[in-house]
Amino acid sequence: MPSSTAIITTSRASIYLQQLCKHFSHKVPVEFTAEAGSVSLPFGNCALTAEDDTLTLAVTAEPDELARMRKVIGDHLARFAFRENPEIEWRDAPAA
């Protein structure tokens, strides 16, 4: 399944991870700790990892839904992190 990853530099990585997971948990299955989380949307999945000053977002979805996953996760992070205005640059994994 196609995947895409974004690595965001922020001192609030764990806070944003938890905010995203708590937000999505109201509507979809979510599991998370302060260091890692997973969000299962109907059209794809997102794995989140917080380490020191880095938040890593890894999304997987069918080819026709990957852009939607990037947009949904990226837009939500941008809203939670509006004070920092993080640069969210997605990189697609090479095709297997």
What pLDDT, in 10s, does the model give residues 7-63?
999 999 999 999 999 999 999 999 999 999 999 999 999 999 999 999 999 999 999
Cα distance between residue 79 and residue 29, in whole Å: 21
Q: Which of 52, 53, 59 is closest to 37 using CA atoms? A: 59
Q: How far apart are CA 93 and CA 4, in angstroms?
A: 6
Q: What's the CA gap between 29 and 39, in Å, rounded?
A: 6
The structural domains of the chain, ordered by start, are 3-88 (3.30.310.50)
Listed residue (7, 17, 10) closest to 90, CA to CA: 7
pTM over cut 0.95: no
Closest CA relative to residue 65, chosen from 16, 1, 15: 1
